Amino acid sequence: MKTVFNKNKNLDATKQPLFFGEDLAVQRYDTFKYPIFDRLAQQQLGFFWRPEEVSLQKDRNDYAQLSDAQKFIFTSNLKYQTMLDSVQGRGPCLAFLPFCTNPELEGAIVAWDFMETIHSRSYTYIIKNLYANPADVFDTIIEDKKIEERSKAVTEAYDKLIRLGYKWHNDPKSVDIYELKKALWLALVTVNVLEGLRFYVSFACSFAFGELKLMEGSAKILSLIARDESQHLAMSQQIIKAYLTKENDKVMNKVIKDTNKEVYKIYDDAVQQEKDWASYLFSKGSMIGLSEKLLHQYVEYIANRRMRVIGLEQKYEQSSANNPLPWTQHWFNSRSLQNAPQETEIESYVIGGIKQDVEKDQFKEFKL
C-alpha cells in the first residue's frame, strides 16, 4: 500500500485482484466482485459478543475440584489457545490487509482481526478468574516447548509474507513476483489449517468438560470462539477457492501447481502435531468421554473435511463422514446452548453488573 486513498477516478474495484493490485479508493459496499466476503463480514459483525457476558463464578469452584490431570489438560489448552489467538490477533491485519486490493475482502479481514482480539481478551478473562496469579499462566506460554513447536509453522509463514510484502512495497523490482505470490499462497493455506484444524483438539477438551457439567462458563466462551473461527475458516476457504476458480492469475496458478506437495506437507505436519498434542495432554491422566485414540481419530476426521472443501484429496484413515466425537457438534452451534442467567450466561451485561458473590451481612447497615 502506497496510499490510504487512491485518487484514480478510473479505478474499478470489481476488476481488482484480491491482492497486489492498485491501492483502493472509496470504501463502498454496493457493488462487489466477491459478495461472499461482504456476507461473511456482516455475519461476523452480527455475532459480536464480549466474554464478560458469561459468568465464571461456578468455574472457579469447579477448577478447584478438578484432578491434577484435568487441571493439566485445561491449563495446557488454555495456554495454547492464548498463543494461537495472539498470532491471529495480529496476523491477518499485518500480513494480508496491507496488500489487499479488494474492498469487500478488506472489510472482512478487518472484522476477522477484530474478533480475534476479542478471543484473546476472553482467554485473559478466564485466566484472571480461575488462577490466583495470572502471570503463572501467561509467563510460561513462551517457555512451553510443546506450544513453541506448534506455533513455529504459523508464525514463519506469516513472517515470510510480511518481509517479502514490505520489500515489494518499497521497491517492486527487488522482489520476484512469483516468490511473493508463493509466500501469499502458503500463508493462506497455513492460516486455513490454523483456523480449521489447529484449535480442534483444544475445543474438544473444553467441550468435554462442559459435557461433564464442569467449567461450563469457559466451555460456553469457547463455543462462541469456535463459532467465530468457523467464520474465519470460511474466509480463508473462499480466498483459496477464488484463486482456484475465478482470479485467473497466471503467476498464482503456477504457484498453486508447483506447491502441491508443500500444501499436503502443511496438512501432514499439522495433523501430526495435533496428534502429538493430544498424547501430551493425556500423558498425566485421562478424563471421562475422551481418550488419546478418539482425539487422534477426530484430528483425521477434521483434516479430511477441510481438505475436501478446498479440492484436496482426503488422505487420512478416519472418514470425513464419520465424526468420532458427535457430541461436540452442538457446541459449535452456540444457539443450541442454554442461555440461563442463573448458570453461565449474562451475569453483568458488561457495565453496571449484577454481583453474585454478595455476603448476607453486606446490607446490615441498610434500613428501610
Q: Where are the alpha helices (DSSP H) in 89-144?
A: 91, 103-130, 135-138
- The candidate with the shortest Cα–Cα distance to 341, out of 212, 217, 213, is 217
Q: From residue 290, give the alpha-carbon distance in Å to each of 59, 181, 284, 295.
A: 20, 41, 14, 7
- Residues contacting residue 329 through CB under 8 Å, at least 6 positions apart: 323
Q: Which residues form the catalytic set? A: 123
Q: If 0-12 CB within 10 Å is exposed, 13-18 middle and 19+ buried, where does residue 32 land? A: middle
